[in-house]
């Protein structure tokens, strides 16, 4: 299941469930509140959630038994009586394994804590591995990451290129020669751990929303070997009827045809903006002015592709994730200027076009969000 809540710093609706909603909902509510607001006493949790102290104490006792929360000691004495004991999510006593399969020449793995902080990194070069050999490489990488963990694991999150359904099946990933690969089930069978799989750009969007500066209405555009995006609308990840929301790489931009794409069409966004194209074009440029023109053109084409999406969904943030030396000032500015010429002027707050702060880790941190939501109901 993909998380559909908003930013962790604003937990959304902090109200107790009706009895029919069940105990699981209230356990998740306690965890979400602690994860977003930090350590609290049982009394503070009771006031925040509108639950009785007896109910909160019972819920916390179960979460302590599961090792999902820990007691941190007493709070600073601010009221008469016995000092309250603070409880918090077990941020460092539980860990998550994340896999980022999006890069052209390397597969990345990380062990993370529950705040998305990377504790250990493992990278494996990928050369000609495709199909089953690529799958086996991923399975081996997952096991290496598990072996590197220093605390009990909640689960494994995976961000992969291609179209991924809600059951963790990679429907198609041409760069890895995968079609209908049940990646989540394969990793679970090999490792015995719950495994969540999402498109890499979707994972990146969730990472930016939960651990970065993302907003409830944003698009994150991931530029690498290809071009994809993750859409957050109303604090929820947009999936689409075919699990392909945000697949913008093969949208044609402009009427001048452009170069031929690997898909067979001419003028796809990837032929203008994908990192390999930009690098080749920059290397072929004979002057700084020509290199600047390459980035301006790429930014303009990206703006053309995104302007209808931004306008139709009334987004507040466009976040670019990829090599900062390519996506920096020139390209980013060209995207923003294209929006100004192709959409109506917005009221405050104005649309932001910016780079993600940690492009190397945004997918990995997004995979942590997948596990947090699935296992703890936290996002």
Query: Which of 79-83, 104-108, 169-173 is predicted least confidently?
Result: 79-83
Instruction: Give CA 54 to chain center in angstroms.
Output: 37
Mean per-residue pLDDT for 259-267? 79
Match domain 215-355 to its CATH number in 3.30.420.40, 3.30.830.10, 3.40.50.880, 3.30.540.10.
Answer: 3.30.420.40
Tokens of 269: 């966004």
| CB within 8 Å of 302: residues ≥ 6 apart | 221, 227, 253, 269, 272, 273, 331, 334, 335, 338
Is the pLDDT at 16 greater than 90? The verdict is no
Q: Which fold has domain 95-205+362-376?
A: Nucleotidyltransferase; domain 5 (3.30.420)
What number of other Cβ atoms are within 10 A of residue 310's Cβ? 23
Strand pairing of 170-173 and 178-181? antiparallel
On the question of pLDDT at 274 being above 50, the answer is yes
Give percent above pLDDT 90 in the chain.
69
Give pLDDT tens digits for 148-181.
999 999 999 999 999 999 999 999 988 888 999 9
Q: Where are the beta strands (DSSP E) in 136-225?
A: 153-160, 163-164, 170-173, 178-181, 195-199, 218-223
Cα gap 375→82, rounded to integer Å: 34
pLDDT digits (tens, 9 = 90+) for 51-80: 999 999 999 999 999 999 999 988 776 566
Query: Could you tell me the CA-to-CA distances from 137 to 36, 151, 187, 371, 374 in Å, in that order?
Result: 36, 24, 11, 22, 25
pLDDT of residue 251: 87
Position 346 confidence tier, pLDDT thresholds 50, 70, 90: low
Instruction: List the strands of the sheet with 352-355, edge to edge.
Output: 236-237, 227-233, 218-223, 317-321, 352-355
Please name every residue paired with 353 in a beta bridge, in sequence order, or none if there are none: 318
Cα–Cα dist 282/290, whole Å: 8
Give the pLDDT confidence score for residue 345 in this predicted structure: 67
**Residues 347-374 pLDDT 10s:** 677 889 999 988 889 999 999 999 999 9
Tokens of 318: 């466009």
pLDDT on residue 1: 39
Residue-wise pLDDT for 201-251, tens only, equals 999 999 999 999 999 999 999 998 889 999 999 999 999 998 889 999 888
Q: What's the mean pLDDT when you consider all of the chain?
A: 89
Return phi, psi of residue 298, to 5°.
Answer: -60, -45
Domain boundaries, the chain: 19-89, 95-205+362-376, 215-355
CATH code for the structural domain at 19-89: 1.10.10.10
The predicted structure's pLDDT at residue 358: 86
Report the pLDDT averaged over residues 263-284: 88
**Fold match, 19-89 / 95-205+362-376:** no
């Amino acid at each position: 299941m993909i998380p559909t809540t908003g930013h962790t710093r604003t937990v959304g609706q902090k109200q107790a469930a009706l009895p029919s909603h069940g105990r699981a909902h209230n356990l998740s509510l306690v965890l979400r509140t602690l994860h977003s607001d930090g350590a609290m006493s049982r009394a503070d949790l009771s006031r925040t959630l509108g639950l009785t102290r007896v109910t909160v104490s019972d819920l916390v006792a179960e979460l302590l038994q599961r090792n999902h929360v820990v007691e941190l000691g007493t709070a600073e004495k601010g009221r008469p009586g016995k000092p309250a004991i603070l409880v918090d999510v077990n941020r460092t006593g539980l860990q998550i394994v994340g896999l980022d399969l999006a890069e052209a020449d390397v597969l990345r793995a990380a062990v993370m804590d529950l705040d998305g902080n990377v504790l250990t990194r493992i990278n494996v070069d990928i050369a000609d591995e495709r199909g089953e050999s690529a799958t086996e490489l991923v399975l081996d990488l997952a096991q290496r990451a598990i072996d590197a963990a220093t605390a009990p694991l909640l689960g494994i999150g995976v961000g992969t290129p291609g179209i991924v359904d809600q059951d963790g099946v990679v429907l198609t990933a041409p760069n890895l020669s995968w079609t209908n690969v049940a990646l989540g089930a394969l990793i679970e069978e090999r490792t015995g751990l719950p495994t969540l799989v999402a498109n890499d750009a979707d994972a990146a969007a969730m990472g930016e929303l939960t651990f970065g500066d993302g907003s409830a209405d944003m698009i994150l555009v991931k530029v690498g070997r290809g071009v994809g995006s993750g859409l957050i609308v109303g604090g929820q990840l947009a999936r689409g009827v075919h699990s392909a929301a945000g697949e913008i790489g093969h949208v044609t931009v402009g009427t001048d045809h452009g170069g031929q794409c690997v898909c067979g069409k001419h003028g796809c966004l990837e032929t203008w903006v994908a990192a390999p194209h930009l690098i080749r074009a920059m290397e072929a440029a004979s002057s700084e002015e020509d290199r600047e023109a390459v980035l301006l053109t790429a930014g303009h084409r990206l703006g053309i592709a995104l302007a209808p999406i931004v306008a139709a969904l009334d987004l507040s943030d466009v976040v670019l994730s990829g090599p900062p030396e390519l996506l920096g000032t020139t390209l980013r500015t060209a995207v923003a200027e294209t929006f100004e010429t192709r959409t109506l002027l917005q009221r405050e707050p104005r649309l932001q076009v910016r780079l993600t702060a940690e492009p190397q880790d945004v997918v990995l941190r997004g995979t942590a969000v997948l596990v947090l939501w699935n296992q703890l109901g936290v996002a």
